[in-house]
Chain A
């Protein structure tokens, strides 16, 4: 039974089983990123309002979306019965920003400030039209649950670079735009058929940052240490009697748990941050559980070489109350996201940290209900951005039609995004496999993928 699987990933060593899989001797090529910070925006942020600049929409606003544009596309049950599909231009101006002219909305003033650091992919697409399949698809490579998340693949292949912390950490926040947002699921950071120690470890705002991290009341550090020494000594007696190497691993893990008890609170203890940090991230970064706080924690974990850090921010599902809710979502996230990129840059860490921003799909150009009421899901095209870790800033990949509806150039499937993330970490997604149910399963499934090279050099 899986001796030592746990040990390896936590030791920061690549898992040997992966090495034994055909051709998956990692890294497959030189990595440009040592770590990933994935700012996942759950619910489907509107590419129409935030990034996909279309001057023509000014004129088209309020007109009926031509049937030819919609084509035979399937739409969700929520707007399928709608009589009119009225074009709804962006609620605030989108315009070229920075030296590079990357197009960003007035809704995201801080992100406009990092326009030259980030690159947009405007032609991301997915087959999913609803949240559960969509968010499961982009995070695990399949709409149907059961497969490992992208972060757990990285943990499996590369392990943790920090001896005292898990290599894959997840943080969740809830926006004020739509509260509660659509549900999310532990499978999004789960390990599927990979060993369970590859699953993302949730870091929680407030209280114990990791489940069961705190000693019970009435036990101090000294008595805990002595108890662990007793456990180790008693286990050692059995090790000598039985020769079972799992016992030695168990002792090692208890020791590491003890160290983690010290190192995890260190990450969440912001008392060593200067005031300038909060000027950069905003005052909200002091509030545990807020998006800005999680962005700041992401930087602190990146500094400690946590390999894969994933934020899930909920509330981007604007079927109604488009204007106030989208504004609120942007206000909650804009400064934190931009601060993180700037902060990494000024610390010289952006070069080897890949930052990704995006959700499970985009939103429809046509309004759901009256103008400016809301937008339905749209998977045919949407925008994500990436920065650092080998991604060149200030670029825009892919183009959509005048209605932000269909891709006209360089389509990028969500699985291509995942292939690109892995590529930056030195992994060829098709060569990196785990044998399950008789198949050499890869992180991106059986379909072909292509790395988004236009971002890279």
Chain B
């Protein structure tokens, strides 16, 4: 561990020195060396923002910096002594020193020296590099620009590129980068065998044309577009935007020119004769969060949605943070508050309201067919989901296994197994409950008409004479009552609208029996009503119905059962009328499945789930719902809400709803003072920030004009930002590391000329994204080895110079996708509605509004089968509780636009890979695959799995360790076969279980290797 700490300390120290050292070796560049210092330490008071500017001095402009202010000049080019700035930064007087002592900013000695060298050398200013259009004289292939640009810089630093990587490493790298999946064993074989000079290129072409490549590119876009399946704020119920996700995948399948990709998402609705697809593309802007929290002031949130759109568009396409200017002029970049609201005005004309819809999409939205999924295909998906929900409703124990196990124990404990006759034979069908004809109706009874007595006991003695086949009580009470048969509590009913049917057969005996109720009234009129049915084996049925022939008494302290059996205090009740009389009217009569009494239920529960008949399953489910807990009833309700939504979608017959933009253009936009929604100022028209070339004069100033302006060849940012982000996708870090910020606070590019050359060429080549990706991966730079040459960790710790190929951990989604693919259980279907792979129980319920109202997405009901094995990009994304395995591996919440994820390395990640049931399932599947496909011997099988995970051959040293693990685990499982049964989650020992379990342990080891989750 100490070694590790030393390394990290050492590494960080060098990271800071690195570029400064680089700078001192050559001429000073204002943009690279000086602007970052001034921006960080000085612009806050001496920058573009008028408000808060001190001494009228700007250090971001030469005019102001050189100006004479009553004989004092901040900067005098070439003259250190005359420059007040130099005096101030060198001063030790707390009243004079700059930055001021209380500002918490401090210049390092190196920074001071740099500033002095710059002033001495003439204090040359440059406009911020990113705001000038990229120019490049290079006109060749992008792959050559890359190799030359990277090579030149390496040479300057005295470094050499690494040799090409092994072919196994290359195909795996390419496959992970372009498809997000490992190469198949066959693909590896084929590539190794193909020694033709065009082998690499044809491999690249194959991968780029795969639909999985489109998926991988779409996954990258989902963070940027803050895509999610829920509304985000407050109750965070579901929405339907998967149709838009399908649109994105389809756009990448077609390799739509990136310029069109931008135009359609920003303004597809405004294109002449816009197609449904072009309209649905604008869902990009509508992916932001919305709210319908009670009490919301709609305008406050409408403004928030617009601010989110500005932030998303500026970050995604311009690499700019405009947010600051929402409230005041930008402190670092030349963006005024007016600029901000002119930009905001592009989106302000839409009709989207501040108060969002519940359980679905907020207007404006369109009904549209998926461009990717035939109607039948996604209806099938919805039907599978519907079946799953129905199954869970009918088997609530599967939705809530912990509670079910607890309840089952409780039921069994109450009815100990006396002898075999407790278990009803499933073949025998009992007589069900049926009420006598309409001429025989029970009466509502109570102690008096007014219902004044709040609690009474009621009873009737009945005789059983003969062999009973079935016996039931169907009853209810206003307000509530508990049912007793011979002193044993058999049920409880509350409220009266939900009468209860109870199977009382097990509680009856030959001769006299007492049917009784402990009944309560909470106020107003009260009544108790009951049907008692005795069905004999000889086919006769008798009914006892409530009437004034029953008895009631007041309860006294003491044992209820004794009181009910005793003879004191019983009197005749009054009748309040026959069944059907007001205020209760006709009660809902019970259906075919009778509620099981305790003993019957216990009998059913003693059987394995699969052995229960359909009717018995219904009985179990009804009893579980009624008896177990509030949680179970709430789950049933939550499932019914989910069911309703899926049924509605199925009814819509092949059209899904996607939220889109519109622009009736009726609203006038005003600057919001201090960014406050209720503090409007001057009116503004749509327009782009003043620092850029304006919109062409002939355009109308709408979103379409904005989109076209973004892709105009004079635009300094868009092409650079796009190229940089795809560079980041492939190499792990952008040429501009801060891919979200190209402004004056952003980082200086590692290879500015290369970035510009690629940006110009990308535009020249028609914004051909797959073309760009192909050029990148065809470069020699891409194909280097990733092993870290001695010494480069010190000189270039973050590998910004690319003297080797980068190595980094796969992103969250790809880690899971890989495990599924390696183990052979990945479902490769493309697109469609989101899926619900397994996650730990209760995560949503614990934070959501579960149990209140009728909202979707408040409780998680996992899919099983193939829908649990889809690629992670299709996992239902709830913003307030994102999939835990994803969040632990650094996935953002998708609440806001994210263009760069951080990459951490934590113990919680280890726990996911070691213990998440999804990875255990993958290990078992990989074990089965090893046995089936891996060859005859254990060594062959282990080597096969290793190759599937890493694409390379296992070394003898590695195989030795893995094989020893196999032998060890096999011994353990042989000695403890029950452990194998548990690990495999099977019912009982079976032939081959020991081997399978031992292979699964090896498989889990392989899935946990650093190499398996690393792109290298």
Give the B-binding residues of A (Cβ under 8 A).
1-8, 10-11, 13, 16-17, 20, 22-23, 74, 76-78, 129-132, 144-146, 166, 172, 179-180, 182-187, 190, 195-197, 199, 201, 204, 207-208, 210-220, 223-224, 226-227, 230-231, 233-235, 237-238, 241-254, 256-257, 260-261, 376-377, 428, 430-431, 435, 437-440
Contacts and interface: CB of A to CB of B under 8 A. Distances in A.
Which 8 A/B pairs are nearest by Cβ-Cβ distance?
A218-B983, A76-B295, A438-B745, A23-B104, A257-B910, A243-B788, A185-B880, A218-B982
Given A218-B980, A438-B745, A212 B296 contact: no
Contacts of B236: 183, 185
Nearest to B972: A223
12 contacts: A1-B732, A1-B806, A11-B1, A76-B296, A214-B915, A215-B915, A216-B920, A224-B914, A237-B955, A250-B905, A260-B911, A437-B745
A195 B904 CA distance: 7
B746 A438 contact: yes
Nearest to A253: B907
A31 B469 CA distance: 78
Nearest to B890: A196
Interface size class of B (residues with CB under 8 A): 35 or more
A129 B295 contact: yes
A145 B904 contact: no
A131 B234 contact: yes
Contacts of A214: 915
A121 to B, nearest CB: 25
A212 B1005 contact: no
Interface in B290-332: 291, 293-297, 304, 307, 315, 321, 323-324, 332
Contacts of A227: 965, 1001, 1004-1005, 1008
A437 B741 contact: yes
B113 interface: no
A146 B232 CA distance: 12
A217 B982 contact: yes
A300 to B, nearest CB: 20
A246 B809 contact: yes
Nearest to B973: A218
B321 A256 contact: no
B4 A248 contact: yes
B157 interface: no
Contacts of A2: 902-904
B961 A233 contact: yes
Contacts of B321: 437-439
B411 interface: no
Interface in B956-984: 957-958, 961-962, 964-965, 968-969, 972, 979-984
A7 B8 contact: yes
B905 A7 contact: yes
Interface string B873-900: 0000001111010011110010110000
Contacts of B911: 210-213, 257, 260-261
Nearest to B301: A133
Contacts of B732: 1
A187 B904 contact: no
A21 to B, nearest CB: 10
Contacts of A245: 4, 7, 11, 793
Contacts of A210: 908, 911
B276 interface: no
B106 interface: yes
B333 A3 contact: no
Contacts of B745: 435, 437-439
A249 B1005 contact: no
B849 A130 contact: no
A184 B858 CA distance: 12
B748 to A, nearest CB: 13
A129 B896 CA distance: 22
Contact of B851 (A7, A179, A211, A430): A179
Given A179-B851, A438-B743, A439-B324, A130 B793 contact: no
Interface of B: 1, 3-5, 7-9, 11-12, 16, 40-41, 104-106, 232-236, 289, 291, 293-297, 304, 307, 315, 321, 323-324, 332-333, 402, 678, 732-733, 738, 740-741, 743-746, 786-790, 793, 797-798, 806-809, 840, 842, 846-852, 879-882, 884, 887-890, 893, 895-896, 902-912, 914-917, 920, 955, 957-958, 961-962, 964-965, 968-969, 972, 979-985, 997, 1001, 1004-1005, 1008-1011, 1014, 1016
Given A11-B1, A244-B807, 7 more contacts: A8-B8, A10-B907, A78-B294, A130-B295, A196-B889, A234-B1009, A437-B323
A249 B1 CA distance: 9
A20 B957 contact: no
B851 A77 contact: no
Given A3-B797, A13-B5, A23-B106, A77 B297 contact: yes
Nearest to B321: A437
A235 B1009 contact: yes
A1 B907 CA distance: 18
B887 A186 contact: yes
B902 A5 contact: yes
A246 B962 CA distance: 22
Nearest to B104: A23
Contacts of A146: 895-896
A63 B3 CA distance: 72
Nearest to A28: B104
A337 B106 CA distance: 44
A1 B900 CA distance: 10
Contacts of B916: 212
Given A213-B915, A238-B1010, A180 B910 contact: no
Contacts of A196: 887-890, 902, 904, 906
Given A6-B904, A146-B896, A227-B1004, A183 B1010 contact: no
Given A180-B850, A218-B980, A233-B961, A186 B807 contact: no
